[in-house]
Amino acid sequence: MAFITNEKDAGGKPVDSLVAERMGISYGELSQEKLEEYQLEAFKRTLRLAKERSDFYASLYGNTDPESLKSLKDIQALPCTAEADLAGNEWRFLCLPSSDIDRMVTVPTTGTTGKQKRISYTDDDIRKAIEFIRAGYEVMNCRPGERMLILMSGTSAGSIGDMVRKAVEPLGVSIEVFGSVTDIQGAYDKLMEMRPEIVEAIPWHAAALASYGKQFGNPEKGFIRSVNLSADVVPDSVVSRLERLWQCTVHRHYGSTEMCIFGGVECTAHEGYHLRPCDILYEIPETDGEGKGEIVITTLDRVGMPLIRYRTGDIGKFTDGDCACGGRLKRLLKVYGRKRDVLRFGQCEVYMADIADALYRCDEVTDFEIGLEDHRLSVCAKHLPGTAVDEGFVKDELMSLKGLRKAQEMGYCILELSFSESRGFASGYDLKKNVEYTK
Ligand SMILES: [Zn+2]
C-alpha cells in the first residue's frame, strides 16, 4: 500500500491542497479572495439547479436571478432555510429522482415536535466528505501503522465508522469500531486491550473514560497519542481533562448530518477549524458584538439534495488570517453550542456548553442532564459508582458562570443541583446533548 507521506504533511496544507485541487488551481495560487470567487460561482450553479428541479426552492427563490448575484454579500439578501422547512418535506428539496439517491439518513430534529428529518446524499457527496476528512487526518498528523478506536456507532455503509475507515486506511491507519459507550467499564476494557494511538469519540464519552481510568492512574496515557472529539460541542474542560489525564493532543471536529458528517477539523496548531469551503459555504450573517452568530451553510456541489442558506442552529465565530500551521483560508474559530441550548433568564444568558464546561472541571463528573421548567434550572451531575464528587467545588464552578450567577442573584432563576451515579450512557446516545425544556 502506498502511504501518503511527509511531503504533504506540513501543517494545514493537506486541507488547503485539497481545496486548491477542487478549484483547479495550484496550491501556490490559493487565496481567500480566489476561493470566494469560486464559491460565488458554485453558489449560483447550485441555486440555478435547485430552482429548476426542486419544488421547494422554485417557490422560495422564484424571484431571484442567480446571475444578479455579484458577490457573496449579495447572497445575504436571500431568505434562509431551516430545519422546520425540511422535516416532513424532504422530497420537495430533492433535485434528482429518489432512485439516484444513494443514502438517506434520518435524524431527529432539535425542536420539540418529535419530528424527524431525512438528509439524502449521493455517492459523490459521501466521497467528497471522505476526501476532506482524510486530508483532516493528515492535518492531525495521523501516521502509518497507527491504530484508531472509534467509540461511536456505525459499521454500515455510509455511517461515520465506515466513512472514517475509508478516509484513514489509505493513510496506513487501521481502525476498529466499538460503538457508543453504553458501558464505561466495557469501553475502557476495550481501550486497554486494543491500545490504540488514536481515539475517536463523543466528548462526554471520552471524558468519562479518562475519569474511569483515573482510579488506576490512567495507564492508557502510555499509548493514546491523539483524541478526536466530534458529534457535539466540545467544552474546554473536557479537552484539558483529556490532555492532562491522557497526556495526549485533542482535536475537535465540527460537523452535522446536513454537512454529510464532516464540516471542519482542528489542526495541530489548535487555532480554529479548517473548513471544507469548496463543498460548503459557511456564513454567519448576523453577529453580536463579539462576532458570534448562527452558522448558515450552503452546499456548493450537491446535486441530490442541496441545502441553501440552511440555518444550522449552531452558534459560532470566524477567524481571519493565517493559521500557525500555514493554512491561509478563513477558519471557524469556535463553536459555542446550539441556539436552542442558550438559556435566557431575564437579561442573562447562559450557554448549555458553559454549564457543561463548569461541570467537567471536576474530574469525577462523567455525564450530566439539564432541564428547565419555568425558572427552575435543574442540573444533574453524574459520576461513576464508588467515586466521590466534591459537590462544593462543582457548585462554585457553576456559580463562576457570570450569567448564571446574575440570574440567580436577580431571582430570574433557581438552580437545583443534584448528583447521581451512572455506569454508562444510554444506547444510541451519540446524539447531541439537549436542554430538556418543560413548559
Ligand atoms: Zn491550522
pLDDT tens column, 118-174: 999 999 999 999 999 999 999 888 999 999 999 987 777 777 888 999 999 999 999
Same fold yes or no, 1-338 and 341-438:
no
What sign has the CA pseudo-torsion 181, 184, 189, 193? Answer: positive
pTM of the model: 0.93
Distance 206 CA to ligand 1 centre (A): 23
Residue 37: how many other CB atoms lie within 10 Å: 13
Asked whether residue 117 carries a pLDDT value surpassing 70, the answer given is: yes
DSSP of 142-207, one letter per residue?
--TT-EEEEES---STTSHHHHHHHHHGGGT-EEEE----SSHHHHHHHHHHH--SEEEE-HHHHH
Distance 268 CA to ligand 1 centre (A): 7
Give the separation between CA 233 and CA 231, rounded to whole angstroms: 7
Distance 12 CA to ligand 1 centre (A): 5
Distance 95 CA to ligand 1 centre (A): 35
Distance 112 CA to ligand 1 centre (A): 37
pLDDT tens column, 65-76: 999 999 999 999
**Confidence grade of residue 7 (pLDDT, cut at 50, 70, 90):** very low
Q: Where are the alpha helices (DSSP H) in 24-139?
A: 32-53, 55-60, 72-75, 83-86, 123-139
pLDDT of residue 112: 57
Going by CATH, does the domain composed of 341-438 fall within 3.30.300.30? yes
DSSP state of 87: T
Distance 266 CA to ligand 1 centre (A): 7
pLDDT of residue 2: 35
**Confidence grade of residue 328 (pLDDT, cut at 50, 70, 90):** confident
Domain segments of the chain as ranges: 1-338, 341-438
Distance 311 CA to ligand 1 centre (A): 26
pLDDT tens column, 211-260: 999 999 999 999 999 999 998 899 999 999 999 999 999 999 999 999 99
pLDDT of residue 14: 81
Asked whether residue 54 carries a pLDDT value surpassing 80, the answer given is: yes
Mean pLDDT over all residues of the chain? 91
CATH level 3 topology of 1-338:
Rossmann fold (3.40.50)
42 touches 278 (CB < 8 A): yes
Q: CA geometry: angle at 204 spanning 203 and 210, to 5°?
A: 90
Distance 140 CA to ligand 1 centre (A): 9
- Cβ < 5 A residues, ion ligand 1: 12, 267, 269, 323, 325, 327
